[in-house]
Every structure is written in structure tokens, then in C-alpha cells.
Structure 1
Amino acid sequence: MALKITVIGTGYLGATHAAAMAELGFEVLGLDVVPEKIEMLGEGRVPMFEPGLEELLRKHVAGIEGSTGRLRFTMDWAEVAEFGDVHFVCVNTPQKHGEYACDMSYVDAAVESLAKHLRGPSLVVGKSTVPVGSADRLAARILELAPGGSEVELAWNPEFLREGFAVQDTLHPDRIVVGVRSERAEKLLREVYATPIADGSPFVVTDFPTAELVKTSANSFLATKISFINAMAEVCEAADGDVAKLAEAIGHDDRIGKKFLRAGIGFGGGCLPKDIRAFMARAGELGADQALTFLREIDSINMRQRGQMVELARQALGGGPFLGKRVAVLGATFKPDSDDVRDSPALNVAGQIHLQGGQVTVYDPKGMDNARRLFPTLGYADTAIDAVRGADVVLHLTEWREFRELDPAELGEVAAARVILDGRNALDPEVWRKADWSYRAMGRPTA
């Protein structure tokens, strides 16, 4: 009999996972505790921008004309427990307010609400990013609460989604990691992921702690790479070197690789910053805090980049106060191909300049609504041209393709001064300088 799958939590991770499981041929039931979200998803609409996700959803949501009908949504825990053989827990694990540690309250609540309804053989699979040791604790709690007793098992299967590529990363993952305690759990997960495994995705079987550590280790490594090249940009700035050429040269070494070596205003978003902080906090609880002290410096370098961008803007305006100066900011999201503005370096820089008296106007292809909610006092424009109109300096802070394709001559016609600061080292300096713009980027020669 074909497996039936449930997905608990239908945010960014859950909505993508539910749609992808339906695409892989499974009957899927998604659960959330927010009625508006359930209503929206039931109509085939997603509450966030993610390329290809809405189309995938509409292909499978029951009740939509021409859909397979394999995907439904509910708020009923008993219905979910009754329906599913494999239950994926995809809820949020934010940073605790006022501390580095991870807030496990949503995961705990989801597991407890589900477990007390599980009467027969079933597998609960954690996908959320959690502190190492959580799976052991949750497995014991499920055993305590589930009427099905030892027939209800837990497994850990971390997610590795990149915003902007989430659908592709779910359907064609570069690796599938499962932390299991039984052959049955492994067999069920091999069945769930049979298609990507057949297509060549590596399937890595581990214990609970290793599976929990994979995501935080991967994110810590990526954060280290980003902060490393940003530290090199600081040295290049002091020594009059060129960090872009430096990155190109070291990137040819296949032990290092070219990815994540573009200097700029650093990383943000809902994962990298909070994951490395939670990792440090958990290592401290385990008595291994010395092992991760380097991550504190990684975090510090990253946050420093934002202040340096503000300083670069001040210098570009003559070194005085921002009061009365018009500043155009291209980009609001923390990365392109997303509408996510959580801990966005671009908005952070825009906000700092605004607080210091600058008249800031922001434009972003997809993040405007979320940016307005977070920073309602900033100015917003409907197009890049409108944002730049009358600006004394232009800051390029999110590397959208649309910004790389802008016509510098056309922008120059409306700007008060042709001064651009490339906070992502993603624009072509020659193209901008040929159009009579003064181009500056961190760690790059001024001419």
C-alpha cells in the first residue's frame, strides 16, 4: 500500500516539502495552526515568494481545476494522525528573545500535539534545525505520550533548502541525511525518497546527534567562508588590494572553491545568523564552547560589514552627516529570488542611514511589502529609476539580476550625483565608470 505523508507546519519549509511530496506521487495532508495560512494554501496560493512553488502547489492541491488532488490541508491533529504513515515536522526554530539559544517551543508543541493521537505504527520525522540532543529528548517524549507506544518512532532528516532554489533542492537534493534508530525507519525514508535516490542523490544514514549536527555544521562552514572573504576585503582596503581578484585567484584552488567568496555586506536571513548563534549556545551547554569560539568572530565580522557600508556611504557624501542627503537603496531582501527580509543586511544599512537623518528610498523586485511592514518609516519606490531619482548616492545591496541589467546611463540621467556603492561586488565596475559613475566597493581599488 502506498505511503501517506503529513507535513506539520506549512511555512517556507513545510509548504515546499508538502508540494514536493505530492509531486513525488504521495497523498499528502498538511497541517497548520494558523487558519489564514490553511485557507490560502487550500486555494493554491503561497504566503511567500519562492520561484516555482505556487505552480507546484496548484498542480496538486485538491479542489483546483486540473490538479492531481493529492494535497490537502487541515487544522485537525486527530485527522493528521489517522491519515499519515510518515509525519514530517517542519515548524520554525527561531532565536530566543534576548539570547543566542534556539527556541524549541514550536517543535515541542507540534510533537506533543501529534504524539497523543498516534495509535498505530508511524514514523515522526523532524526536519527543523534543532540543537543537538533534541531528537533523543523528543523520542522519549513520543514514547511517553503516544498510545501506539514503541510502534511510533522518531527519525531526524535535516533540511538543506536554499531560498530561491527550494523546489529544486527538495525534488533533487544534493544529499539526503537521515538519523535513525531502526531498519524500519531507514526503510520508510528510503521509500519516501526513492525517486531522488534513483536519480543519484546520496543517502547518508547516521545516528540522531550526527543528523542534528549536519545542518548547523554546514551553515557554520558557509558563514565562515563569507566572513573570511569579508575579512580579506578589510585587509585589501587597508593595503590597496583588490578582493575580487584575490577571491578569483584563491577560488581556482579546488580545495577552497569559488562559491561564497564574494565580499560584501555579509549574510543575513532567517537561518545562517540564528543557526550559528544557537550552535555556539548549545556547544556551551555541552561544555564544548571552546570548539566554537571562532564562530563569535565570524558573527562579529559579518555584523561589522553593515557598519562599514554606512561609513562608505558617509565618505561618498563628503564625510559629513547624512542629514538632508538623498540615498537610494537597491535591494531590501537578504538575498535575491526571495521576498525574505529577516535580518536583511540591506534593510539594516538603509535603517541605520535613515536613523542618522538620511532621506532613504528603497526599491526591491519582490521584498517591498515585507520591508514596509518591518521599516514603515523608510521611503519606497515602485522602480529602480524612481528610487534613484534625485539621489546623492546609490547603494546596491541585494544582488538581483534586475540590478545587474540596469542601464547606468539611464540611471545617471535621474540621479543628482553619479555615485554608486556596490555592497555585493556584483556589478561591473567598467560599465559603470564608462557611464561616468564613481564606483566603489569594499576591498576594491577606487579606479
Structure 2
Amino acid sequence: MTQGSTPADRPLRISVIGTNYLGANTAAGMAEFGFDVIGVEIDEGRLKSLNEGRAPLYEPGLDPLLKTHTESGRLRFTNDYREIADWADVHFICVGTPQTEGSDAADLSQVNSVVDMLAPLLTQPTLVVGRSTVPVGTSAKVEQRFQTEAPAGTAIEVAWQPEFLREAHGVDDTLRPDRLVFGVQSEAAESRLREVFATPIADGTPVVVCNRPTAELVKGGANAFLATKISFINAMAEMCDATGADVSQLADALGFDKRIGRGMLNAGPGYGGGCLPKDLRAFMARAGEIGVEEVITLLREVDDINRRRRSRIVDLTHELLGTDWVGRNVTVLGAAFKAGTDDVRDSPALDVAGRIQLHGATVTVYDPEAMDNARRVRPTLKYAASAVEACAGAHLVLHLTEWPEFRELDPNQLKSVVDSPVIVDARLSLDAATWRNAGWTYRAPGKP
């Protein structure tokens, strides 16, 4: 590939296609690195919000970054692919790859739609960089389509540069990534990516240069490993429940082993969100397609353990409330799949809330940021404006999302509004002694 040269009197021009969580962070980050950026967004409401400097979701620190660069003119958003086609030196694909309905496989329709819209407009050499999480082998098919359907033909090259953004830490992970992975087929593509990420590279971020299949496997492999680690400690929590051991102390002891580490060894209701569950299942689906059965066997058990954690919370609720839940009030503290985000996709908190409601209890939910999203997903639940309001008349309180606000609750104050002072700390982040000293029955999975 012969990439077009960039005039010395202007910075690189970058397009970011798809501007939800990944794309909004990427676009703002590229502007912060000093580049001129245009984001492409087809949703009119999201487009208007972004051009006003407001993110389409809750992510700490993202709104100020968007505001700074939309006001400076360095960053803007459009729904017209013609504005970016031959304007940008690098095109980033940041669209979603959700789980296909009725299957574990990734739905690549949004990636394919980008090719449909962009390829016919490309008349100049350019680099297209995928950041979306895709099954291994996708980049080769995407490049083949670009080179076949774009007027520029083989002057279009595709690279894959997986992202490792953690929700609630997306801005920092964009500006100060812990590693950069460049899946490239040429030195020219590597050189261009090093130019794009010159700021974090200069700050010491390590770079792994590899072929595209390796880059595609890195993100799926990382999420599969993290899911395995979470399910492992949750399986240990079941062992602790059966033996009277303490899973938090067990995790601390295991974490001192440098080969293991303490990170992600927090027992609880399991993982959720828009990445780990669907990426794990897509990884299994792709393993099945290429005949690697050992991966499927391992990861299916990881996924099954994760699903059982939610059932365990419901079982514990049965133990504490008895068999007849009609007329019983249950408070759920938390709706987001984890603290620091308003993302309720595959949220353990909302899943448990829905299961308990099906058993006949009245369930009231409170979350500091995710209330609107929760209402859309679970409209039949009750919602309160504060934790105290949510706990009024409760026969059981479930702590299911680890917001700092919940750790700071006064158990004496809450005791005065509940019907029965019983709490299940599914996140194992409350101080058990404080709650018990205040007269509460405190239970937590994996804790004696």
C-alpha cells in the first residue's frame, strides 16, 4: 500500500465512525492528542448531543473533554460519510458488535454497514483502522471488501488496533493506555499508527506490533481471561459458603502471589455489561467455527458459573424471606452492571431484581446514574429517588452495584425506615461489623 502523504502544515485528519462509548472516547482522545477529528453518527439525537459537547452516556470526564474540543473547532460530528471519505488520513471503525439474536456469534452488521457506506467514496490512499471487537479473521474480509469496492482499490489498507477501555475509566484509558496493539500488514501502516499514538508512546506506553489475526485475538482473549478469573473466585465463594471460609481473605491471600495478582479477584454477583458476556460468547462461537473444542469447553463453564451467581443471590433471598414473597418489599441498591457507569446491559443487579419480582415480591430500585436506562429495560420495577426512599418499608435490602454512595450509607438511619433490617451485600464491599453493630442481619456470598 502507498499511503497518501500528509502536508507538513497541518495535523493528521482522523475520522471516527460510530460514536457511542468507544467512538466518543476515541474521538475526544484523538482531538486531545492534537488532531482534527470528525465523528460519524447516524442517530440524530446522539449527533446533536455530541456536537453540543455532551456524551451520549455517563462516563466520568468525557463531557468536559468533548466540550473543550467541540468549542475549539478541532472536533465535530456529522452523519454524512462524504465529509470524511477523502478528508481523513485515518478512518477508525468504532461501531458496536453485539451478540446476534438467537446465537452466541458476534453481529457484524454495523461493521459491514461502514464498509457499504465508506468504500464507494474512497478515491485516495488511506488507512482504515478497526477498533471494534470482532471475531478473528474479520479484518481480512473487511480489507478485501474495501479493496474491491473502493475506487482507490489496493491503495486502501486495513489495520486492527483493539481497544481496552474500562467503563468508568474510558477517558484515562484512551489518553493513557496500558498498552497499544497494532495489527498491521505493512511498515507504512505501523508508521501511521505510531504517528497517531505518538503522545502515549512518548509517555512510555508499550507497543505490541503483530499481524491482524493476533490483534483480533488479543481483545477477545483478554476478556475471556478476565471472565475466567472472575468466575474462578466466584466458584471459590461457593466453596467458602460450603465450608465456612471467607472468600475476601482467600482472595487477599491468593493475590499476594505475583503469578496470580489481586485484580479481578472480587467475588460477587458475576460480570455483566456490554463487553465481557457477549465477547466471551462470540469467542466461543468463533472457536467452534475453527474447531478448537478445548476453548469452548473451558469458556462454557466460565459462563455457566457466572450465570449461577445470580441464581445464588435469589437463593439467598429465599433463605432470608421464606417461600411466600407476596406482600414482601425488596430494595435493590444498584442498576448499572458496575459502579461508575449508567450501562445496564446484562446487568446482574437488574437481572436479580427481575427474578425476584417474578416470585411475587415488590422490588424498588435505586441507582445514582442508571435510573433512566433501567426504567427502559425493566419498566415494571419500582424506582426511587434516593437510597433512603428505596429502603422505606423493605423486608430485605440487596446491595448489587458497588457505588461509593452505598458504602457511605448510615445503617442506623436506614434501620429507622425499613420493615426488617436485613441486608445482602452481594458486592462484599460494605463493612459487616458496622452493619451488624447497628442491629442488621448482614449476609454476603462466600462470607461466614
Calculate the TM-score normalised by the size of structure 2.
Answer: 0.97
Match of 2:370 among 367, 370, 395: 367
Query: Which residue of 2 is the match for residue 322 of structure 1?
Result: 325
Match of 1:342 among 345, 351, 361: 345
Counterpart of 1:241 in structure 2: which amino acid?
Answer: A
Give me the whole-angstrom Cα distance separating, in 1, the residues matched to 2:205 and 2:143.
27
Give me the whole-angstrom Cα distance separating, in 2, the residues matched to 1:77 and 1:431.
57
The one-character-per-residue Cα deviations of 1:352-371 (angstroms, maximum 9, x if unpaired) are 00111101000000000000
Query: Which residue of 1 is the match for residue 3 of structure 2?
Result: none
> What secondary structure, in the 3-state scheme, does the structure 1 residue paired with 2:231 have?
helix
The one-character-per-residue Cα deviations of 1:82-107 (angstroms, maximum 9, x if unpaired) are 21000000000000001100001110
Match of 1:48 among 44, 51, 57: 57
Query: Which residue of 1 is the match for residue 147 of structure 2?
Result: 143
Matched, 1:74 2:83: no
Give me the whole-angstrom Cα distance separating, in 2, the residues matched to 1:151 and 1:3.
18
The one-character-per-residue Cα deviations of 1:307-329 (angstroms, maximum 9, x if unpaired) are 11011011111x21221110010
Give me the whole-angstrom Cα distance separating, in 1, the residues matched to 2:416 and 2:252.
33
> What secondary structure, in the 3-state scheme, does the structure 1 residue paired with 2:323 have?
coil
Aligned-pair CA distance for 1:372: 0.4
Give me the whole-angstrom Cα distance separating, in 2, the residues matched to 1:214 and 1:265.
26
- Structure 2 matches for 1:149-160, cutoff 5 A? 149-160=153-164
- Structure 2 matches for 1:108-147, cutoff 5 A? 108-147=112-151
Matched, 1:380 2:389: no
**Which shifted more, 403-412 or 285-294?**
285-294
Query: Which residue of 2 is the match for residue 36 of structure 1?
Result: 45
**Which shifted more, 111-120 or 294-303?**
111-120
Give me the whole-angstrom Cα distance separating, in 2, the residues matched to 1:194 and 1:321.
62
Query: Which residue of 2 is the match for residue 5 of structure 1?
Result: 14
The one-character-per-residue Cα deviations of 1:234-286 (angstroms, maximum 9, x if unpaired) are 11111111111111111111111111111111000000000010000001100
Counterpart of 1:306 in structure 2: which amino acid?
Answer: R
Calculate the TM-score normalised by the size of structure 1.
Answer: 0.97
Give me the whole-angstrom Cα distance separating, in 2, the residues matched to 1:242 and 1:322.
29
Aligned-pair CA distance for 1:112: 2.5
Query: Which residue of 2 is the match for residue 64 of structure 1?
Result: none
- Structure 2 matches for 1:299-310, cutoff 5 A? 299-310=303-314
Counterpart of 1:94 in structure 2: which amino acid?
Answer: P
The one-character-per-residue Cα deviations of 1:415-435 (angstroms, maximum 9, x if unpaired) are 111111001111111111111
The one-character-per-residue Cα deviations of 1:130-164 (angstroms, maximum 9, x if unpaired) are 00000111111111011111211110000101000
Counterpart of 2:369 in structure 1: which amino acid?
Answer: K
The one-character-per-residue Cα deviations of 1:141-193 (angstroms, maximum 9, x if unpaired) are 11101111121111000010100000000000000101001111000000000
Aligned-pair CA distance for 1:292: 3.1
Uncovered stretches (5+) of structure 1, i.e. residues with no partner: 62-66
- Structure 2 matches for 1:247-262, cutoff 5 A? 247-262=251-266
Match of 1:409 among 398, 406, 412: 412
Counterpart of 2:178 in structure 1: which amino acid?
Answer: D
**Which shifted more, 67-76 or 183-192?**
67-76
Counterpart of 1:16 in structure 2: which amino acid?
Answer: N
Matched, 1:59 2:62: no
Counterpart of 2:405 in structure 1: which amino acid?
Answer: E
Give me the whole-angstrom Cα distance separating, in 2, the residues matched to 1:326 and 1:275.
35
- Structure 2 matches for 1:206-285, cutoff 5 A? 206-285=210-289
The one-character-per-residue Cα deviations of 1:69-94 (angstroms, maximum 9, x if unpaired) are 10011111111102100000000000
Give me the whole-angstrom Cα distance separating, in 2, the residues matched to 1:156 and 1:288.
23
Give me the whole-angstrom Cα distance separating, in 2, the residues matched to 1:140 and 1:98.
28
Query: Which residue of 2 is the match for residue 435 of structure 1?
Result: 438
> What secondary structure, in the 3-state scheme, does the structure 2 residue paired with 1:72 have?
strand
> What secondary structure, in the 3-state scheme, does the structure 2 residue paired with 1:82 have?
coil
> What secondary structure, in the 3-state scheme, does the structure 2 residue paired with 1:341 have?
coil
Give me the whole-angstrom Cα distance separating, in 2, the residues matched to 1:111 and 1:49.
29
Give me the whole-angstrom Cα distance separating, in 2, the residues matched to 1:437 and 1:36.
46
The one-character-per-residue Cα deviations of 1:178-230 (angstroms, maximum 9, x if unpaired) are 10011110000000000000001111101010000000000001000100000
Give me the whole-angstrom Cα distance separating, in 2, the residues matched to 1:340 and 1:269.
7
**Which shifted more, 230-239 or 319-328?**
319-328
Give me the whole-angstrom Cα distance separating, in 1, the residues matched to 2:145 and 2:384.
51
Counterpart of 2:424 in structure 1: which amino acid?
Answer: L
Give me the whole-angstrom Cα distance separating, in 1, the residues matched to 2:38 and 2:267.
43
